[in-house]
Structure 1
Amino acid sequence: MFNLIKTVFVNFISDEEGASAIEYALLAAMVAIALVTFVQPINTAITTIFTSIQTALT
């Protein structure tokens, strides 16, 4: 019984497929942080550009 538990544990530790999922999760988290950080300044800049275009057209 102990050998079976040891074998399952060793296989679980040496399995590297889960590492890809963790890497993708970290990448998604970094993208989300970048979006939260930069969306408001970009939104403000785009609003300013469209407002100036609208003012020029009227």
Structure 2
Amino acid sequence: LVRSAESFEDAVDGLWNLVYPYLSKSMTRKRLDKVLERGYGELKKAYGKLAESLEALSEQLS
């Protein structure tokens, strides 16, 4: 669970690092769209692992 949470946190941090240049006006919207495709994939994968870990923990506690 801890590793899954850390992986999710890393994915969120990575997504922020991809978005920040756009927010600071040093990246175009078109470029942002391209880099976010990759970032969303990583975030979705990390979220899936976190959800699986939470489900496993829930089953163990039941």
CA distance in 2, matches of 1:49, 1:39: 15
Matched ranges for 1:1-58 at <5 A: 27-58=28-59
The share of aligned pairs that are identical, in percent, is 9
CA distance in 2, matches of 1:39, 1:48: 14
**What stretches of structure 1 of length at least 5 have no aligned partner?**
1-23
Report the TM-score, using the length of structure 2 for normalisation. 0.47
Report the TM-score, using the length of structure 1 for normalisation. 0.50
What amino acid does structure 2 have at the position aligned with 1:55?
A
Instruction: Report the count of equivalent residues.
Output: 34
Larger relative contact order, structure 1 or 2 (CA cutoff 8 Å, min sep 6): 2
- Larger deviation, residues 29-38 vs 44-53: 29-38
State the shift of 1:31 in Å: 1.1
Cα root mean square deviation, aligned:
1.7
State the shift of 1:38 in Å: 1.3
Superposition misfits of 4+ residues, deviation over 2 angstroms: none
